Chain A
Amino acid sequence: AQKITQTQPGMFVQEKEAVTLDCTYDTSDPSYGLFWYKQPSSGEMIFLIYQGSYDQQNATEGRYSLNFQKARKSANLVISASQLGDSAMYFCAMREVNFGNEKLTFGTGTRLTIIP
């Protein structure tokens, strides 16, 4: 079963607009962590933001914020004031912490294209 679902294969957004990238997850563990990474065409996976399952507030890092809705198992990434350099693949990932099965599981990604 898919543990991380990203339903938007591709998105086109006008420069300077805000964009929301969707991510839903599935886990029965009470303790987990959610990451967002950006992957330009060069291949490097760049860390953007992290949300722990016990964190009371939504995470923010500069222009990035995470809209964490625990009951809905949703962890959407919001990029404010998009820039041309934001064009890339974006991956949502979940850290599973159950002993003996610890790993990072990725979604299929969303290709974001910023239009000038």
Chain B
Amino acid sequence: KAGVTQTPRYLIKTRGQQVTLSCSPISGHRSVSWYQQTPGQGLQFLFEYFSETQRNKGNFPGRFSGRQFSNSRSEMNVSTLELGDSALYLCASSLGPLGTGDSGNTIYFGEGSWLTVV
């Protein structure tokens, strides 16, 4: 069974540009959540999508947006990139929404997308 797949793995962008990251969840999983990891702030929750609807959003500016398609694949977009957006962006998938709290709703992560803004 394939795991969570994120593309691209590495990318370099210039300040002011925009970037789109893609995440394919484990087959059958309908929840996709996104996280930003930086040395200074650690791992922070960005948002969660379930059945094409954004359910929860973390404390990030509106430049960070996302969407989910009918096949549960998700994309995350960052517009007007800033140097501080350089980070590892991790995507996670689970069967049910994040808030479904039982052992059957384990949250699995992908390998991440390393974004460098210069």
Distance of A46 Cα from B106 Cα, bound (Å): 12
Interface residue? A50 (CB, 8 A):
yes
Chain A residue nearest to B102 in the complex (CB):
A52
Other-chain contact of A32, B56, B101, B108 (Cβ < 8 Å) = B101
Distance of A46 Cα from B92 Cα, bound (Å): 11
Chain A residue nearest to B108 in the complex (CB):
A47
Interface of chain A residues 17 through 72 with chain B (CB within 8 A): 31-33, 35, 37, 42-47, 50, 52-53, 55, 59
| B112 engages A43 (CB within 8 Å) | yes
Interface size on B, residues (CB 8 A): 27
Interchain Cβ contacts within 8 Å, total number: 73
| B107 engages A108 (CB within 8 Å) | no
- Nearest Cβ distance between residue A48 and chain B, in whole angstroms? 10
Interface residue? B109 (CB, 8 A):
yes
| B45 engages A105 (CB within 8 Å) | yes
Interface residue? B99 (CB, 8 A):
yes
- Nearest Cβ distance between residue A20 and chain B, in whole angstroms? 22
User: Inside 8 A of A33's CB, which chain B residues have their CB?
Assistant: 101-103
Interface residue? A14 (CB, 8 A):
no
| A97 engages B101 (CB within 8 Å) | yes
| A101 engages B90 (CB within 8 Å) | no
| A50 engages B106 (CB within 8 Å) | yes
User: Inside 8 A of B43's CB, which chain A residues have their CB?
Assistant: 91, 93, 106
Residues of B at the A interface (CB closer than 8 Å) are 33, 35, 42-43, 45, 48, 55-56, 58, 88, 90, 92, 97-103, 106-112, 114
